Amino acid sequence: MWAITYPRAARRVADDVSGGLVMSGRTFSFEVNRTSTAPAATLFRLVTDGANWSKWAKPIVVQSSWARQGDPAPGGIGAIRKVGLWPVLVQEETVEYEQDRRHAYRLVGPPTPAKDYSGEVVFTPNPAGGTDIRWTGSFTEGVRGTGPAMRAAMGGAVRYFAGRLVKAAERESNGRR
């Protein structure tokens, strides 16, 4: 599911620091849905354990660690995970943490054309005994014209991560690591 909104008065001309680029301010969002046979607790633990993303999210995430642990440790509120492949290590801060149910985060570095990116992963037990996953993200287009490409790239990455997350959780739930 894709969405785009145009907030009023969001368009402005950037100052000289941005090289005179026209800033957009359009908001873009995406949603990825998956179903897993694994329990929500396993999926939640994997997605909130920033130091171990490199075990299940390769080849996009080759390195993963904590820049800061949160409350509760390690991946709770305030935690900052660093994931990616050097020299591009994305830093995401946990802003909401509901054990085994919901994880919300925001991008804190490095700067990208996707301003104010935030994401949310919700795990809902389903009648079949598995878990439904809804992973959403939204951001503001920083430079006019970059929004559709950034939505495709970020939505594609999240789609990939959701698929890898399901595979890792199901492997673990079936006794294979």
User: CB burial class (10 A; 0-12, 13-18, 19+) of residue 129?
Assistant: exposed
pLDDT surpassing 60 at residue 12: no
Residue-wise DSSP of 145-159: T-HHHHHHHHHHHHH
Distance from C-alpha of 102 to C-alpha of 84, rounded to nearest angstrom: 22
Tell me which H or E stretch contains 172.
Answer: helix 147-173
For the chain, what is the mean pLDDT?
A: 89
User: Which neighbouring-strand residues pair with 89?
Assistant: 84
pTM of the model: 0.85
Q: Which CATH superfamily includes the segment(s) 21-173?
A: START domain (3.30.530.20)
* pLDDT for the residue 113: 86
Local structure of 53: helix, strand or coil: helix
For 100-154, write each residue's pLDDT tens digit: 999 999 999 998 889 999 999 999 999 999 999 999 999 999 999 999 999 999 9
Residue 82: closest CA among 53, 111, 104: 53
User: Which neighbouring-strand residues pair with 103?
Assistant: 97, 121
Tell me which H or E stretch contains 134.
Answer: strand 131-141
Tracing tokens 């006019």 back to the chain, one arrives at 144
Which of residues 177 and 159 earns the better pLDDT score? 159
